[in-house]
Amino acid sequence: MTASHRIRAPRRSWRVRARNGMAVGALVFAFSLVTVGSLAPPPVSSVSDRASANVQFFRPAGTQKLTVPDSAQGVAITRDAYSATAGVQTLAAGGTNYDWAKLVLLKAGFPVTDDNVTVMTRWMRQENGVDNWWNRNNPLNNGWNSGGNSGLGSYDSLEYAAESAAEALHSVGGYSDIVAGFASSAPMDVIESAIWASPWASSHYEYGGHWSYAPAQIVTSPEGTWAG
């Protein structure tokens, strides 16, 4: 077959080529949309969605119950009690017969209880009376270190008188029952009976016949009687 008679394949028209090109472009564009969609960040969740997720995350697996049997008993906790005792300066600042009674107990190392103070103020009243309980700065008419016989001596100050009274109680054997009574916070009648039986007063207060149980009035001593 000669070259002049060679059969040539028909050429595609430009319209066919154009359609093919458009089809390929459409495929590429569609693929790019799919790719971009897969790479885009996830949609932002709303506040309510996040709150719901958090609640679900922290929600306990189930409700727990603690059942206490009826036989269970509570445990009582005992705590130490605390109290404060007035010091010498505080009592001197008060300056009353009750303050001096507390000072004698404090100097003697006895508990400063209401009953002990009551007995001491009764004792002081039997010696000097209430209105002049500080007489000669010797409320109990104590002869120890006072320089006078039969308790008629005096002290430079009520503080020194309290110290001497405490010293006398611990130094004279005949006062041992008084010391034991005050030290143990014995009932008031026990301490008072020990005072009557002791050699503190030669009259022994008529063993209670000359003893008043009425509450002693609170009386303040004159200025300058406490410190000497």
Question: For the whole prediction, is pTM greater than 0.85?
Answer: no
Residue 39 pLDDT greater than 70, yes or no = no
Average pLDDT over the chain, rounded to whole?
A: 79
**Cβ-based neighbour number of residue 207 at 10 Å:** 12
**Mean pLDDT, rounded, for 181-207:** 97
**Dist. CA 8–CA 118, nearest whole Å:** 145
> Confidence band (pLDDT; 50, 70, 90) for 140?
very high
**Dist. CA 130–CA 27, nearest whole Å:** 122
b/e sequence 117-156, b meaning 16+ C-beta within 10 Å: bbbbbbbbbbbbeeeebbebbbbbbbbbebeeeebebebe
Residue 31 pLDDT greater than 50, yes or no = no
Residue 61 pLDDT greater than 90, yes or no = no
Residue that wins the pLDDT comparison between 8 and 195: 195
Confidence (pLDDT) at 79: 57
**Mean pLDDT, rounded, for 198-206:** 96
**Dist. CA 37–CA 11, nearest whole Å:** 40
Confidence (pLDDT) at 177: 98
> Confidence band (pLDDT; 50, 70, 90) for 87?
confident
Confidence (pLDDT) at 151: 85
Contact 124, 97 (CB under 8 A): yes
Any bridge partners for residue 96, and if so which?
220
CA angle in degrees (0–180, nearest 5) for 204-129-215: 90
**Mean pLDDT, rounded, for 99-108:** 98
Judged by average pLDDT, the poorest of 78-82, 131-135, 175-179 is 78-82
Confidence (pLDDT) at 107: 97
Nearest partner of 195 among 209, 213, 208, 185, judged by Cα? 208
Confidence (pLDDT) at 3: 43
Residue that wins the pLDDT comparison between 71 and 129: 129
Residues 159-193: tens digit of each pLDDT: 999 999 999 999 999 999 999 999 999 999 999 99
> Largest alpha-carbon pair distance within the chain?
176
**Dist. CA 213–CA 156, nearest whole Å:** 30
**Mean pLDDT, rounded, for 219-225:** 96
The burial of 192, by beta-carbon neighbours within 10 Å (0-12 exposed, 13-18 middle, 19 or more buried), is given as buried
**Dist. CA 178–CA 86, nearest whole Å:** 23
